[in-house]
Structure 1
Amino acid sequence: MSLEDTPIDDVNIRSIDVLVTPAELRKALPMSLGAHRTVAEGRQVIRNILDGKDHRLFVVIGPCSIHDLKAAQEYAQRLKALAEEVSDSIYLVMRVYFEKPRTTVGWKGLINDPRMDDSFRIEEGLHIGRQLLIELNEMGLPCATEALDPMSPQYLHDLIAWSAIGARTTESQTHREMSSGLSSPVGFKNGTDGGLTVATNALLSVRNAHSFLGINNDGKVAVINTTGNAYGHVVLRGGDGKPNYDSVSVALAERALEKAKAPMNIMIDASHANSNKDPALQPLVMDNVANQIVEGNTSIIGMMVESHLKFGRQDIPKDLSQLVYGQSVTDGCIDWETTEKAVRSMREKIKAVLPGRRQPS
């Protein structure tokens, strides 16, 4: 073969499949009035908490990832009841993660591979994910997710009250630009090494306007021009095997935010390095955070907790009928009984001090 005949375009592409557009998906699965009300209220409550106008903490809690709709719906029903019980002090937001970043390879989440068999039926995953979000919001339960693929917000973000940018993507220019246009508040995790610089730089970036390539509702490539997102904040999740939820680490984060002239808003992730990847330690992190608040901390505005119906995690078997119901297939989670106990304990500790703790910024 001569040099002129050598293929140079799409050399490693097996196929390119046309996907449903955001407008088509929203038409097929429209948002109800009840779901719209939940999203709007959820975003406003979180904004008010970040602004110091609402004294409560918001806690993003739920499965590490969604893989079983029945289990997710059962979890949501239980969480809704708990949310009403603790609503005077804690605003619970369900963790509804459809996309999972992988260090190398592995299951990338319900949107990417909804059948968990490497068939990668992404359009099916988008339909399933949007339908679940509609159902949860219709229950009156606000939802949170990780914004990983820069295209997915066009399909799903109208149903999201709070978004996370993960430790692997906080440093990404693409994700900072995307976040500047998100309609929800967004939390940036510290780097995987535990450093805060990437997160504070992200806060500086996200509040500014950006222009970048994306898609519009009709699925056409477009230049997206944003106005900036004023509700970015940092999420401490530890790093390099070391936690950073303790009072000294929080004080250092406060200094970093002050230096960056960023709002003094800190969220604590009870999982990952902060629990040494042992889900059983998450309640201890929650208790420590509650003690910090009782002792006078005013910067901690929320928490993240990985929780499911059953404790721990499982590998995905070849025979999916062997999956344990209500147990995570990604990071390990605390079980429901532990979740109730930990949330109730936190509320009891902090409820008396919260009303006078923060003033509007």
Structure 2
Amino acid sequence: MNASVMPLSVTVARPVRQRTHKSLPTPAEVQQQLPVSAPLSARIAAQRDQVRAVVGGRDPRFLVVLGPCSLHDPQAALVYAERLLHLQERVKDQLLLVMRAYVEKPRTTVGWKGMLYDPHLDGSDDLAEGLHRSRALWLQLAELGLPLATEWLQPLVAGYLDDLPSWAAIGARTSESQVHRELVSGLDMAVGFKNGTDGSLAIALDAMRSAAHPHRHFGMDAQGCPALVSTLGNRHTQLVLRGGHSGPNFHAGAVSAAREAMQAQGLEPSIMVDCSHANSAKQPERQPQVLAQVLQQRRAGERALRGVMLESHLQGGSQALSENLQFGVSITDACLGWEVSAACVLEAAEQLAG
């Protein structure tokens, strides 16, 4: 007699929710709460034209994008901006200063992602407040009269803030992203694509060529609805040399090779050197040395060099995120202090005037 077979009990696995959702205000709602006045809009448009003229070589001045690695304290940012505004007046014939106003911080693994994501600095990730606080601060900075610079990390953020900056960067890790190239193709500002983290130029040059063309891509409208976005293309881009795993790429041979590669692909040979990151071996105090060599090349006739980027704050160095933060000290990458930064800018203006 065959043994009876007991039916197997079947356990149905319930799906584990890997994510949750929390509604955010739409771009239109945030912009309505924090509008740009007509006079400010006209000023930003004029500043964008000035930046584009320098990037395109039509304005002989040199572009200097400088400021904190990332913003975390609105009061410190405003103090820095006021100092930078006075400095601009002293160097206006030779330099066009643009303030770094980064509210997104790319992370290799994990960490504080910037004011936009965690404005309370406590891990609460109050993104709704971060959007509001970031736009409010950018409006205050813009009202002072400074052109602003940012890095577009999350493309959806641009819908909330892209009416305010005059220059933007696409980082080394995102220059290869089709989504970011499509974003740039519809931006009304000059944009710098950074070379890859390995130091190669191909990704950034491909990005510049892609962004110059019209695109139709998936996106979001001002009401927060999915939308088909059509762009006209953006030819006001430049290559940002930031070094790579193999070392720096700001020396004359690397700059000359970059210029020739751009010309071979039919690109305007517009180059900015990021004086931090791999070009300074992540040692902020070496940024002035990088700047000095870039200026030497410019004075020697390298007209493709049209700008530099410096990480600078009120106080030098950096500090860990804590409950007792020092005023004017970066909580992300270490920066130059104000005195050294101002001296660098004044020296650059003197060098270029000679």
**TM-score w.r.t. length of structure 2:** 0.95
- Quick one: which of 65, 68, 84 aligns to 1:63? 68
Q: Let me know the Cα RMSD of the aligned residues.
A: 1.3
Amino acid at match of 1:225: S
Q: What SS does the corresponding residue of 1:214 show, helix, strand or coil?
A: strand
Q: Equivalences for 1:196-345 in 2 at 5 Å?
A: 196-240=201-245, 242-317=247-322, 320=323, 322-345=324-347
Amino acid at match of 1:348: E
Q: What SS does the corresponding residue of 1:163 show, helix, strand or coil?
A: strand
Structure 1 regions of 5+ residues with no counterpart?
353-361
**How much has 1:35 moved relative to structure 2?**
2.5
Percent identical across equivalent pairs?
A: 44
Structure with higher Rg: it is 2
Tell me, in whole angstroms, the C-alpha distance in 1 between the residues paired with 2:10 and 2:174.
Answer: 42
**How much has 1:34 moved relative to structure 2?**
3.9
Residue-by-residue CA offset, 1:40-65 (whole Å, 9 max, x unaligned) = 11110011112322110111100000
Tell me, in whole angstroms, the C-alpha distance in 1 between the residues paired with 2:105 and 2:218.
Answer: 23
Amino acid at match of 2:44: V
**How much has 1:260 moved relative to structure 2?**
1.4
1:151 paired to 2:153: no
Q: What SS does the corresponding residue of 1:152 show, helix, strand or coil?
A: helix
Partner of 2:88: 83
Residue-by-residue CA offset, 1:138-193 (whole Å, 9 max, x unaligned) = 11101000001010110001011111000010111111111111111110000001
Relative to 1, partners in 2 of residues 1:340 and 1:225: Cα closer, same or farther, differing over 3 Å?
A: same
Contact 2:55 2:237 in 1 (8 A): no
Amino acid at match of 1:331: D
Q: Equivalences for 1:6-85 in 2 at 5 Å?
A: 6-7=13-14, 11-13=17-19, 15-85=20-90
**How much has 1:36 moved relative to structure 2?**
1.4
Amino acid at match of 1:82: L
Contact 2:169 2:194 in 1 (8 A): yes
Q: What SS does the corresponding residue of 2:321 show, helix, strand or coil?
A: coil
Residue-by-residue CA offset, 1:16-45 (whole Å, 9 max, x unaligned) = 111101110011001123421331111100
- Quick one: which of 338, 348, 351 aligns to 1:349? 351
Moved over 6 A (4+): none
**How much has 1:99 moved relative to structure 2?**
0.5
Partner of 2:136: 131
Tell me, in whole angstroms, the C-alpha distance in 2 between the residues paired with 1:67 and 1:146.
Answer: 15
Residue-by-residue CA offset, 1:246-286 (whole Å, 9 max, x unaligned) = 11110110121012111010001000001110000101111
Relative to 1, partners in 2 of residues 1:34 and 1:7: Cα closer, same or farther, differing over 3 Å?
A: farther
**How much has 1:241 moved relative to structure 2?**
5.1
1:99 paired to 2:99: no
Tell me, in whole angstroms, the C-alpha distance in 2 between the residues paired with 1:191 and 1:2.
Answer: 51
**TM-score w.r.t. length of structure 1:** 0.93
Contact 2:195 2:243 in 1 (8 A): yes
- Quick one: which of 157, 160, 166 aligns to 1:161? 166
- Quick one: which of 112, 119, 128 aligns to 2:117? 112
Structure 2 regions of 5+ residues with no counterpart?
1-8
Q: What SS does the corresponding residue of 1:159 show, helix, strand or coil?
A: coil
**How much has 1:7 moved relative to structure 2?**
4.5
Tell me, in whole angstroms, the C-alpha distance in 2 between the residues paired with 1:201 and 1:119.
Answer: 38
Q: What SS does the corresponding residue of 2:155 show, helix, strand or coil?
A: coil
Tell me, in whole angstroms, the C-alpha distance in 2 between the residues paired with 1:33 and 1:80.
Answer: 21
Q: What SS does the corresponding residue of 1:138 show, helix, strand or coil?
A: helix
* Aligned length, in residue pairs: 346
Tell me, in whole angstroms, the C-alpha distance in 2 between the residues paired with 1:341 and 1:192.
Answer: 30
Contact 2:57 2:270 in 1 (8 A): no
